[in-house]
Amino acid sequence: MGSQTRFSLALTAVTIAAMGATTPSGAQSEEPAVGLPAALLAQHAAEASCEPLAEVRHAAMWGVHTLTEGFVLYMVPCAAGAYNFSYAFYVGPADRDAFARQLFVDFHDRYGWTGTDQLFNPNFDPETLTLTSFYKLRGIGDCGTSGVWRWDRYAFALTAFYAQSECDLSVEPGDFPQVWPPVD
């Protein structure tokens, strides 16, 4: 992969908010969007980066999770491909209709650190308040990215990020080199 560059970033503030083929855990319905607040559905429909919910094949695989400090996490299906399912993530107070679309960091060895408002193939662990994602560059999963974020009172903080840009079968699916925090 060439030479490594060491750097240090404070990523907690950058990683506030987004989600997106594992089925998310939490409250779900067989009907698309049944159980999600109407104001959230209206906000989500207005977002240009997501397909209309009625057209997303995993529309019924949404999730709602209780966080801390009275906040709720909403995982709303965004788009679907052959092996990647994306989600948008919203966080809002449990007692009112106000939803902040979450933003996350992403990494590519060619472009460096970027941002995204969607995560692919996410999973949320309600016991540890940990959100994970796994983006596959191809179906067998030997290249792509994966990230781990932990809820920290008011935002998701990046705890680890892994990336493998070369699709060459040199690693097991999802067993990518760690790019954050930097490895000595």
In order along the chain (184 residues), what is the average pLDDT of each group of 10 residues? Answer: 30 27 43 76 92 92 93 96 96 93 90 94 97 96 96 94 93 91 84
In a domain, 32, yes or no: no
Provide the residue type at 30 as one letter. Answer: E
User: For residue 13, what pLDDT is reported?
Assistant: 24
Please tell me the distance from the alpha carbon of residue 81 to that of residue 109, in angstroms, as a whole number: 23
Spatial CA neighbour of 144 closest among 125, 117, 118, 172: 172
Q: How many domains does the chain have?
A: 1
In a domain, 149, yes or no: yes
In a domain, 107, yes or no: yes
Decide if 61 contacts 24 (C-beta within 8 A): yes
Please tell me the distance from the alpha carbon of residue 47 to that of residue 50, in angstroms, as a whole number: 6
In a domain, 151, yes or no: yes
Supply the pTM of this predicted model.
0.80
In a domain, 129, yes or no: yes
In a domain, 128, yes or no: yes
In a domain, 21, yes or no: no
In a domain, 68, yes or no: yes
What are the structure tokens assigned to 16, written together? 């506030």
Q: What domain range includes position 58?
A: 38-179
User: For residue 93, what pLDDT is reported?
Assistant: 93
User: For residue 15, what pLDDT is reported?
Assistant: 26
User: For residue 39, what pLDDT is reported?
Assistant: 95
What are the structure tokens assigned to 15, written together? 């990683």
User: For residue 28, what pLDDT is reported?
Assistant: 44
